[in-house]
């Protein structure tokens, strides 16, 4: 059977469109975190939506499961095949064209394999901004960003991937192509299949192209590194900044000194805007302005000055040049990689809670973890502005990090996620469910919502061939 299917796929895709050599397939069979390793019958690299539709029909004929894959930078194992060697990985690498830029409509139409940074650069060529910004933007692809409903640092101002998408082209499990790439901001014609496919992690369809929103490029961006005594002060500062700066406030990132220590130990960071031991918490704040740099600087400096006088800010460093701003952001982006480099495997949580309950959530959760594991360490950082925390748990210093994570991950997940639900939050804010959180979703998910999701999956993918074992 496999030989017959491979022959059919090779006829559809050509020699450049298929990989069957074990060594060449290997990078497609392991996730970015090296947590999941699988195998695949073949890696298919279609170059058009028509080829995707044809291979979907061929796989359906042979009852062969499909695992869609973008840049393979996901954090939840959604793009990794299982270990059977019977599934087909469908890579979007060759679907990498920019189809159209409509500057008057502030929109751009790109294929799913376009690298996020390429999209950003293309927008800049036309004096426009595409604001989605994440650490993997040099290798992740827009199709994967949409499939996982990616977030990042600019969600506060611009929204996540779903809010940035105007239309999509996608192939459904029956091999039909959905053509809905209109760059319309108002299009009220029934159920939104676009919004259903975004965030579905390849379980309902394969996104092959999308029309994305563009924005005016800011005339100025002002970045500040702020030292604070407590998380309560960080929340209070955000409330003030949001009220006074409004749409100018584009990012508000919470940073813990433990993350800075790890970044320094990894040699990714040589110096900090303020001493890393000078405060219990830091905030990286950015404001952008369509008027002028002077206007933006004046607005942010007045607000910061008032907060210093009020005693909420211990110290602040405002970037005076683009290089200083980039240096501040490089520190923030280095934290995630540094954790793994200096500590190895640890227990990650990508959660959201209402902003008003951030500080209380952290106090209660850290107390519960500390009660069970004396000396446990938590690197809590993330996007205050949109309620997203990366709550990473590390073994006590005297313990072996790897063995601790293997033995205690289930218990720690339960402690953290129980509190997330208690505080009205979500167990997955921007990384998706994949296979990492599938069982957690089944445990914590609203029963009626889970039933509806299963019904939708059954209706669109009755054979269960699209990314089985992921999400539900």
Residues of the chain with CATH 3.30.70.2190: 218-342
pLDDT in tens, the chain (472 residues): 577 999 999 999 999 999 999 999 999 999 998 899 999 999 999 999 999 999 999 999 999 999 999 999 999 999 999 999 999 999 999 999 999 999 999 999 999 999 999 999 999 999 999 999 998 999 999 999 999 999 988 999 999 999 999 999 999 999 999 999 999 999 999 999 999 999 999 999 999 999 999 999 999 899 999 999 999 999 999 999 999 999 899 999 999 999 999 999 999 898 999 999 999 999 999 999 888 888 888 889 999 999 999 999 999 999 988 899 999 999 999 998 899 888 888 899 999 999 999 999 999 999 999 999 999 999 999 999 899 999 999 999 878 877 888 889 999 999 999 999 999 999 999 999 999 999 999 999 999 999 999 999 999 999 999 999 999 9
Length of the chain: 472
How far apart (Å, rounded) are the C-alpha atoms in residues 459 and 464? Answer: 10
Q: Indicate the SS3 state at residue 140.
A: coil
Q: What is the DSSP letter of 63?
A: T
Q: Which fold has domain 344-431?
A: Alpha-Beta Plaits (3.30.70)
pTM of the entire predicted model = 0.94
How far apart (Å, rounded) are the C-alpha atoms in residues 55 and 46? Answer: 8
Residues of the chain with CATH 3.30.70.2740: 344-431
Q: What is the largest CA-CA distance in the chain?
A: 74
Residues of the chain with CATH 3.30.43.10: 2-91
Measuring CA to CA, how many Å separate 341 from each of 48, 119, 344, 346?
38, 29, 6, 11
Q: Which two tokens stand for residue 261?
A: 């220590």
How far apart (Å, rounded) are the C-alpha atoms in residues 358 and 196? Answer: 29
DSSP 10-40: HHHH-GGGEE--HHHHGGGGB-TTS--B---
pLDDT given at position 1: 55
Point out which residues pair with 318 in neighbouring strands.
224
CATH number of 2-91: 3.30.43.10
CATH number belonging to the domain at 218-342, selected among 3.40.50.720, 3.30.70.2190, 3.40.50.620, 3.30.930.10 = 3.30.70.2190
Burial of 352 from C-beta contacts in 10 A (0-12 / 13-18 / 19+) = buried
Work out the angle between the directed axes of helices 231-245 and 358-372 (0-180°, nearest 10).
160
Starting at the edge strand found earlier in the chain, the sheet holding 165-171 runs 98-102, 107-111, 206-213, 165-171, 177-180
pLDDT given at position 415: 98
Q: Top-level CATH class of 98-216?
A: alpha beta
How far apart (Å, rounded) are the C-alpha atoms in residues 343 and 377? Answer: 11
CA atoms within 13 A on the CB side of 184: 9
Given a contact cutoff of 8 angstroms between Cβ atoms, the answer to whether 390 and 349 are in contact is yes
pLDDT given at position 268: 87
Alpha helix ranges (H) inside 128-246 = 142-147, 155-158, 161-164, 193-197, 231-245
Identify the residue whose tokens are 């218990």: 411
How far apart (Å, rounded) are the C-alpha atoms in residues 51 and 8? Answer: 12
Q: What is the CA radius of gyration of the chain?
A: 23
pLDDT given at position 357: 95
Best CA proximity match to 15, nearest among 59, 45, 39: 45
Best CA proximity match to 64, nearest among 121, 4, 20: 4
Residues of the chain with CATH 3.30.465.10: 98-216
């Amino acid at each position: 059977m496999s030989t017959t299917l491979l022959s059919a796929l090779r006829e559809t895709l050509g020699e450049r469109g298929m990989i069957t050599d074990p060594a060449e397939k290997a990078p497609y069979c392991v996730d970015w975190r090296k947590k999941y390793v699988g195998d695949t019958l073949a890696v298919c690299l279609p170059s058009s939506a028509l080829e995707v539709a044809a291979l979907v029909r061929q796989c359906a004929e042979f009852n062969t499961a499909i695992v869609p894959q973008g840049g393979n930078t996901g954090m939840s194992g959604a793009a990794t095949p299982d270990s059977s060697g019977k599934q087909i990985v469908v890579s979007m690498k060759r679907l990498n064209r920019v189809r159209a830029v409509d500057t008057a409509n502030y929109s751009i139409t790109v294929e799913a394999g376009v690298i996020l940074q390429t999209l950003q650069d293309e927008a800049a060529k036309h004096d426009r901004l595409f604001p989605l910004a994440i650490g993997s933007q040099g290798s992740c692809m827009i199709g994967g960003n949409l499939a996982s409903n990616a977030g990042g640092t600019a969600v506060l101002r611009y929204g996540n991937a779903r809010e940035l998408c105007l239309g999509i082209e996608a192939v459904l499990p029956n091999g039909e192509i959905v053509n809905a790439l209109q760059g319309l901001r108002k299009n009220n014609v029934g159920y939104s299949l676009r919004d259903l496919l975004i965030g579905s992690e390849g379980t309902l369809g394969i996104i092959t192209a999308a029309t994305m929103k563009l924005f005016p490029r800011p005339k100025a961006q002002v970045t500040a590194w702020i030292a604070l005594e407590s998380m309560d002060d960080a929340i209070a500062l955000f409330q003030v900044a949001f009220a006074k700066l409004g749409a100018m406030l584009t990012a508000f990132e919470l940073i813990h000194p433990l993350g800075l220590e790890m970044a320094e130990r990894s040699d990714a960071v040589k110096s900090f805007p303020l001493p890393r031991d000078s405060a219990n918490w830091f905030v990286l704040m950015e404001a952008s302005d369509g008027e002028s740099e002077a206007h933006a600087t004046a607005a942010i400096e007045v607000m910061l000055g008032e907060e210093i006088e009020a005693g909420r800010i211990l110290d602040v460093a405002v970037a005076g040049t683009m290089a200083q701003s980039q240096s501040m952001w490089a520190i923030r982006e280095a934290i995630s990689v540094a954790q793994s480099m200096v500590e190895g495997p640890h227990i990650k949580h990508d959660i959201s809670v209402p902003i008003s309950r951030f500080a209380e959530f952290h106090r209660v959760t850290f107390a519960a973890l500390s009660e069970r594991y004396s000396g446990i360490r938590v690197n809590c950082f993330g996007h205050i502005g949109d309620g997203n925390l990366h709550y990473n748990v590390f073994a006590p210093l005297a313990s072996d990090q790897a063995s601790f994570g293997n033995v205690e991950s289930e218990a720690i997940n339960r402690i953290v996620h129980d509190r997330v639900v208690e505080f009205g939050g979500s167990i997955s804010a921007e990384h998706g469910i994949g296979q990492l959180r599938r069982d957690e979703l089944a445990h914590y998910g609203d029963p009626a919502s889970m039933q509806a999701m299963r019904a939708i999956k059954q209706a669109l993918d009755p054979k269960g061939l699209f990314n089985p074992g992921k999400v539900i």
